Each structure stands twice: as structure tokens, then as C-alpha cells.
Amino acid sequence: MWILKQTKGKKKKIFSSQSKLIVSQLNTRTEQRDKLQRIKSGQQGWMLFGGSAYYVSSTTKSWEESRNDCRQKGADLIIINSEEEQNFANQLKKYMWIGLTDSENEGTWKWVDGSQLTTSYWGPNEPNGNRKENCGDIKTFKTQKSWNDEECSHTLSWICEMRLPL
Ligand code: 2F8
Ligand code: CA
């Protein structure tokens, strides 16, 4: 917010100290994001898309171990919250864990940040594992509806997402 200052009959726009603080905080966050983007784009296995950096594993692990690996990288398993992000993940053409589970409450699928699943991309007849298959993956990536539920102890590749600031 700017404020008008009148000196010698001339009106001058000046920024309030609150506005200066917001601008400086925004600049700091932009610098942090740019720095993270530079680091991630140069790191083996990481890709930038939208406002996030993604890592696709070249080995396989259980869902829990995959999640631990992501967290150890300062990220988490991917949370898919747009059609663009779903299409991005599919075009990687990899059978891989995503950040979706109904381990806590059978049939109530939640993302790893605790948010409820709203728009879903389950494959035909999925999820079909009831109490046996409580972790989500991308399996049939040739079609947009690519998700499958799978036994969490199964070993698969995985995809991590690190949200970049702003
Ligand atoms: O993709 C269909 C179906 O394929 C397997 O079952 C035959 C999967 N289970 C395992 O791999 C253990 C199911 O999750 C999947 O629904
Ligand atoms: Ca299944």
C-alpha cells in the first residue's frame, strides 16, 4: 500500500513501511525459489514442472520406504492436484508410487499432506484392493486414468515432489 504525501503543493506517492516489508519478504522468497530452481535443475534425477521440483527414482522400494527417501530429500511423495500435473506424471511412463494412501481409514484416500482426495484418476475398476491394497501408484500411464491401489509392501519406483516457495 502506498500513501500520498503532499509537499509544497505537490503530491508524491511513497510506500508505507508495511509495504516495504512485504516487498522485501517477497524478494527474499523469489530469491529462495530461484536458488532452489537453479539447484534442482542441475541435480541428477530432478525435473522442474509448474511450481515444483520432482525426483523419479531409479530403484524400487515399499511405499513407506519411498516416502522416507523423499522426506530425507526435503520433499514428499507427489501430491497430484491438477490435470496438468497428472499428465506430467503420466508422460514419465513409469510404474511408480504416488503420495496417496487409505491406510488410516479404509476407503478414505488421503494425500501425504493430510488433504482429502477430490479429483481422482483411478484406472478402470480401481481402487479394487479393499483392505489389502492401501497405497496408490501410477500404473497404466498410457491413459489419463492411470492410478492403481497396491499392497504398500510391494516394491516400486517412486516420484517425490518438492514445492518451491510462492
Ligand atoms: O492392475 C490390475 C491389478 O493388478 C494386480 O492384481 C492382479 C495388482 N495387485 C498386485 O500387483 C499385488 C492390483 O492392485 C491391480 O488392481
Ligand atoms: Ca488395485
Nearest residue (by CA) to ligand 1, atom 9, is 150
Q: What CATH number has the domain spanning 13-163? A: 3.10.100.10
104 lines ligand 1 (CB under 6 A): no
Cβ(161) to ligand 1 under 6 A?
no
Per-residue tens of pLDDT for the chain, all 166 residues: 555 555 666 666 677 888 889 999 999 989 988 988 888 888 988 999 999 999 999 999 999 999 999 999 999 999 999 999 999 999 999 999 999 999 999 999 999 999 999 999 999 999 999 999 999 999 999 999 999 999 999 999 999 999 998 7
Report whether residue 126 contacts ligand 1, using a CB cutoff of 6 Å.
Answer: yes
CA distance 27 to 34: 10
Contact call for residues 99 and 78 (beta carbons, < 8 A)? yes
* 2, burial (CB in 10 Å: exposed 0-12, middle 13-18, buried 19+): exposed
Q: Identify the pLDDT of residue 5.
A: 57
Domain residue spans of the chain: 13-163
How far is C-alpha 49 from the geometric centre of its chain's CA atoms? 10
